[in-house]
Amino acid sequence: QVRIVESGGGLVHPGGSLTLSCAASGLSFSRYVMGWYRQAPGKQRDLVARISAGGTTTYADSVKGRFTISRDNAKNTVSLEMNNVKPEDTAVYYCKADWLNVYWGQGTQVTVSS
């Protein structure tokens, strides 16, 4: 059984930092493209960042230079380091595993507010 579990969300002040983690089990993790997506109320779910099996990263323009995605294939985890966060980063953040099949986590709420 595949499980994708996000953690690390919460309330953070503008300009602050937060790191999200995603733990995957039940799949050949190293073969999967892992991604972080976010969905704000009333909006579609959009890509934030993704990392290929080989370690190539892609970022949304809105987070370039502020967010960093990384993966640890030994631990089956992918992280999203968020720096200099802004109110517009407020959303539910989802982890996605994509290869032969697509799997999503349940999401973790990130709220950026003073």
Residue 106 DSSP SS3: coil
Predicted pLDDT at 110: 98
- Give the whole-angstrom CA distance, residue 16 versus residue 112: 9
- For 17-51, the pLDDT digits (tens) are 999 999 999 999 999 999 999 999 999 999 999 99
Predicted pLDDT at 30: 96
Predicted pLDDT at 79: 98
Predicted pLDDT at 77: 98
pLDDT confidence band for 2 (50 / 70 / 90): very high
Predicted pLDDT at 67: 98
- For 67-108, the pLDDT digits (tens) are 999 999 999 999 999 999 999 999 999 999 999 999 999 999
Average pLDDT in the 56-62 region? 98
**DSSP 8-class letter at 48:** E
Predicted pLDDT at 6: 98
